[in-house]
C-alpha cells in the first residue's frame, strides 16, 4: 500500500498541480465594458441541453436532488446563467427599477448610495439659449444661482428703464426610489437691486401641473427666495394619484399660487 502511495506521489508535478479550479473565459471583459451578444457561448459542452428555469427546477432541493448522471445538463445551465449575468451588468442604477434580471456593478452601487445619502448639484446657467437646467429630485441638495446672463433659464425684462433678470427653475418628477426622501434647495445669489444702475436680480422655482408645494396646509405652485442664503427644505412624496407633493418643512422667502413672473410694474 505504501509502495503504491509513493509511486503516485512521485508521478505528480514537482511544484504541485498547476490548477486553480477556476474557469477561464475565452475573452476577458475589459473594465466598464460588457459583452452584449446573445446566446450561449459556442465552446460550452452540450450547449443545447438545459435543465430549465432554476425557479421551477432548483437543483439540490428535496424534490430535485443533485444527480451525478445529470451533470451534462448542469454544466451548460451554469454556463448559460453566468453568461446572462455577465451580459446584464449595468454601470448605472435607473431611477425607476423594474423587476428584471439586471446586475449593478460595484461602481453603480457606490454611485447610487452616494447620491441617496448626500448628493449635491450646483445649477449655474451659462450663456446658452438652448440648455435648460432643472432641479434634481435624485440629489439631496441643489445650490441655485441667479446669474445675469441670456440662458434659457433666465427671463430678461425691462421695467421702468431697469433690467430685471428672473431666473426660473423647474423640478424634475420624483422617481419611485426617491419617494419620501428629503430635498433641500439653497439660493446662492444676491436677490433684489444688484448694481448702481438699479438692475434687479430674482429667482423662482415653478412646479408643473402634476406637482404641488404644501405649506401650512395650503397648495402653491411657485417659490421665490427673498435673499442670499435662503434655504427651502422639503420632503418629496408621490401621492396615490401619481402626483408629486413637496411637503415644506422650513423656508425663507415667499410662496405664490402661480408663477411670480412676469413681474408687475415697479
pLDDT digits over 95-118, tens only? 666 767 788 888 888 877 776 666
Give the pLDDT score at 218.
Answer: 97
Query: What is the rounded distance in angstroms from the CA atom of residue 93 to the CA atom of residue 138?
Result: 12
Choose between 14 and 103: higher pLDDT: 103
**Would you identify the CATH topology of the domain 120-256?**
Jelly Rolls (2.60.120)
Per residue, what are the HEC states of 83-95? Answer: HHHHHCEECCCCC
Query: What is the rounded distance in angstroms from the CA atom of residue 166 to the CA atom of residue 170?
Result: 13
**CATH 2.60.120.640-classified regions of the chain:** 120-256
Least confident range from 15-24, 84-93, 202-211: namely: 15-24
Read off the pLDDT of residues 144-202 as tens digits, 9 standing for 90 and up: 999 988 899 998 888 888 888 999 999 999 988 889 999 999 999 999 988 888 889 99
**Longest alpha-carbon distance in the chain:** 110
Instruction: Report in angstroms the alpha-carbon separations of 93 from 111, 147, 176, 257.
Output: 9, 33, 13, 36
Least confident range from 26-30, 45-49, 86-90, 124-128: namely: 45-49
Is the pLDDT at 34 greater than 50? The verdict is: no
Give the pLDDT score at 16.
Answer: 56
Choose between 251 and 18: higher pLDDT: 251
Amino acid at each position: 500500500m505504501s509502495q503504491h502511495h509513493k509511486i503516485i506521489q512521485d508521478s505528480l508535478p514537482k511544484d504541485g498541480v498547476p490548477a486553480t479550479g477556476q474557469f477561464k473565459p475565452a475573452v476577458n471583459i475589459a473594465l466598464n465594458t460588457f459583452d452584449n451578444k446573445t446566446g450561449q457561448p459556442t465552446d460550452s459542452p452540450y450547449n443545447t441541453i438545459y435543465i430549465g428555469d432554476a425557479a421551477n427546477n432548483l437543483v439540490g432541493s428535496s424534490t430535485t436532488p443533485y444527480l451525478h448522471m445529470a451533470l451534462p445538463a448542469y454544466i451548460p445551465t451554469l454556463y448559460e446563467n453566468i453568461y446572462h449575468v455577465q451580459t446584464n451588468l449595468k454601470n448605472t442604477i435607473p431611477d425607476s427599477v423594474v423587476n428584471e434580471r439586471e446586475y449593478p456593478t460595484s461602481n453603480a452601487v457606490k454611485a447610487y448610495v452616494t447620491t441617496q445619502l448626500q448628493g449635491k448639484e450646483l445649477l449655474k446657467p451659462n450663456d446658452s439659449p438652448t440648455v435648460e437646467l432643472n432641479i434634481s429630485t435624485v440629489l439631496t441638495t441643489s445650490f441655485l444661482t441667479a446669474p445675469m446672463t441670456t440662458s434659457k433659464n433666465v427671463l430678461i425684462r425691462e421695467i421702468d428703464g431697469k433690467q430685471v433678470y428672473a431666473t426660473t427653475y423647474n423640478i424634475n418628477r420624483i422617481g419611485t426610489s426617491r419617494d419620501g426622501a428629503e430635498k433641500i434647495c439653497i439660493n446662492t445669489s444676491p436677490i433684489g437691486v444688484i448694481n448702481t444702475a438699479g438692475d434687479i436680480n430674482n429667482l423662482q422655482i415653478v412646479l408643473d401641473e402634476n406637482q404641488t408645494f404644501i405649506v401650512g396646509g395650503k397648495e402653491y405652485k411657485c417659490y421665490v427666495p427673498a435673499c442670499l442664503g435662503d434655504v427651502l427644505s422639503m420632503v418629496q412624496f408621490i401621492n396615490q394619484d401619481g402626483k408629486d407633493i413637496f411637503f415644506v418643512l422650513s423656508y425663507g422667502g415667499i410662496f405664490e399660487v402661480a408663477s411670480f413672473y412676469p413681474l408687475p410694474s415697479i
